[in-house]
Structure 1
Amino acid sequence: MNKKLLEIYRKNPKPYEQGEKMFWNDEHISKQMLKAHLDETLESASRTMKTIESSAKWIYSLVENKKNVDVLDLGCGPGLYAEQLSAFGCKVVGIDYSKRSIEYAKQNALSKQMQIDYRYENYLESVFDKSFDLAMMIYCDFGVLNPKERDGLLKNVYETLKPDGIFVLDVFSQYNYKNFKEQEMITYEDSGFWRSHPYVCIKKDRKYNEVYLEQYTIVDDKDIKVYNLWNTAFNKKKLKDEFQKAGFSDISFYSDCTGGKDDEQSSTICIVARKK
């Protein structure tokens, strides 16, 4: 057995330990990710367009002063939410670290004559050059970050919000993982999400208290690469503590980003935090 594969099997990664870096910009993988974003029948990368439209409408309704609304869309992907908010008259800055998604968003906005400022950046390192009425981070991206990254992001967003500005994001709840089981599965693909050519995929699901790992080890005829996809399961207390630490005090909870009533049996938690 390959020594690299032996080492992978010998030990589990530490919580939030990186696997292959910047894999979302891989030529093949980025195509598959964009395809998933744009496929309205899938919810693996984005939600359905009906849900996106409902979410954008509800999020916009949270802004009290509807005149000249400045919006920061973190992890904007191909611009599905940014376009909705732009259509309401908002001035949107969209940030994403997927070059392919940002290029698609720019071209799509141009074809629709929408004035949206899309930026290919790592939002953990962004230096914002303006203040915003609304910041948003949709589809549970927050839970992918480790605690230090979350703290830094929240403080950065708090500082860039205008007085009474709001930050809206969603995360996976602990209820979402109620049936989670640690397991391992090996599959063969002639071509698929991870490669355009034949490969074997070894998928491991692991639990580290409230942190969950989907690990994909991809073996082809040339190499072995490991992709660690982390997520954190939150409860309202944990979320509130992290937001208050960053300075937010006016905090509300919903079941999702369409404004659904707070529900302990919802797979997601949506938090709306206002800067006072």
Structure 2
Amino acid sequence: MTREVIGDYKAYSLAGTDREVRFITDVLNLNPGQSILDLYCGYGRHAIELAKQGFVVTGVDATKDFLDIAAQKAKEANVNMAFEQKDMRDLDYEQQFAAVINMFAAFGYFTDDENANIIKLVAKALQPEGLFLIDLLNKDWMLRNSLNRYWRHPSGEYVLSYKVELEKGIATMKRQLINQVTGAKTQYEFVLRAYSLPEMADIFSYCGLSVIATYGGFDGRAYSSETPRMIILAKKIP
């Protein structure tokens, strides 16, 4: 699975990265020097900031264009970290990380069996009692609400429309990028499997992980059927 490059890194770095990283570090409660895998790190927004704080970070993504941008930004930030191009279905780490993070609905792109096996590979990659933090769309909220969005790039050059349709647990993401200067339009569409909290808890249990906390947003609010996000913290069962 590959993902598209939309706009540029700066547009995304303004979208609450500091707050998101504070949430990640608060929830994981790790010490500098411990290892973190950012699974499908994208442009490296979180990975680079975590590396700045002294964590040993590895960023993995299937999309080379994302990794090229992330590596350049890491160099500009003067942080030393590893980036690897890898499909999440092919993770081959064993007890290497104190924590794995998977942010911004970067899970659910494959069959149920493949998705479950990814969680099993995450558990294998974790050290004993390691932590897994995953940020998902809230299926229960999506059933009753619209996720349609419209953004204008701060430079005014791009406009991005974003529409999500949910049917039988499958979320179809439709994006249209409009260049305000040239008028050119680029359209993207991809699908992912949306899971409920009980469904994810069952998958985690099967794969040797236990849910220890849930959140409804990066501000730490409690998770409920009324929160657009479903952020789950799980721990590797000894």
Equivalent pair of 1:74/1:137 in contact (CA under 8 Å):
yes
Please tell me whether the aligned partners of residues 79 and 105 of structure 1 are also in contact (alpha carbons under 8 angstroms).
Answer: yes
Paired residue for 1:238, among 177, 195, 199?
A: 199
Q: In the alignment, which residue of structure 2 is the partner of 1:211?
A: 170
Alignment of structure 1 residues 114-263 onto 2, 5 Å: 114-128=79-93, 131-173=96-138, 174-179=140-145, 207-214=166-173, 228-263=189-224
- Native 8 Å contact 1:128 1:160 kept in 2: yes
Partner secondary structure for residue 101 of structure 2: strand
Alignment match, 2:226: 265
Deviation at residue 227 of structure 1 after TM alignment: 5.7
- 1:150 Cα deviation (Å)? 1.3
Runs of 4+ in structure 1 deviating by more than 6 angstroms, as ranges, are: none
Equivalent residue for 1:72, pick from 37, 41, 54: 37
CA distance in 2, matches of 1:160, 1:273: 14
Relative distance call for 1:148 and 1:227 in structure 2 (3 A) is: farther
Q: Which amino acid aligns with 1:229?
A: F
Paired residue secondary structure (1:56): helix
Give the CA deviation at 1:193: 8.9
Determine if contact 2:109/2:115 at 8 Å carries over to the other structure: no
Question: 2:167 is aligned with what amino acid?
Answer: Y
What residue is the counterpart of 2:51 in the other structure? Answer: 86
Rounded Cα–Cα distance in structure 2 between residues aligned with 1:58 and 1:23: 25
- 2-side partners of 1:127 and 1:257: how far apart? 29
Is the aligned partner of 1:39 residue 2:5? Answer: no
Cα shift at 1:84: 1.3
More displaced stretch, 74-83 vs 64-73 = 64-73
Which segments of 5 or more consecutive residues in structure 1 lack a partner in the other structure? 1-20, 25-29, 41-45, 182-191, 195-202, 218-225
Query: How much has 1:142 moved relative to structure 2?
Result: 1.2
8 A contact 1:73–1:136 mirrored in 2: yes
- Tell me, which stretches of 5 or more residues in structure 2 are unaligned? 148-157, 177-186
Alignment size in residue pairs:
217
Identity of aligned residues (%): 20
- Are the structure 2 counterparts of residues 231 and 255 from structure 1 closer, same or farther at C-alpha, using a change threshold of 3 Å? same
**In 2, Cα distance between the equivalents of 1:82 and 1:159?**
21
Q: Distance in 1 between matches of 2:211 and 2:192?
A: 26
Deviates more, 1:203-212 or 1:161-170: 203-212
More strand by share: 2
Q: Return the offset for 1:253.
A: 0.9
3-state SS of paired residue (2:221)? coil
* Partner-residue secondary structure (3-state), 1:101: helix
- Where 1:165 maps in the other structure, the secondary structure is strand
TM-score normalised over the length of structure 1: 0.68
Higher Cα Rg: structure 1 or 2? 1
Amino acid at match of 1:265: E
Matched, 1:63 2:22: no
Secondary structure class of the residue paired with 1:89: coil
Distance in 2 separating the partners of 1:130 and 1:247: 13
The 3 A distance-change label for structure 1 pair 56 and 263 is same
Partners of 1:250 and 1:259 in 2: CA distance? 16
Structure 1 pair 265–95 and aligned structure 2 pair: CA distance change class (3 A): same
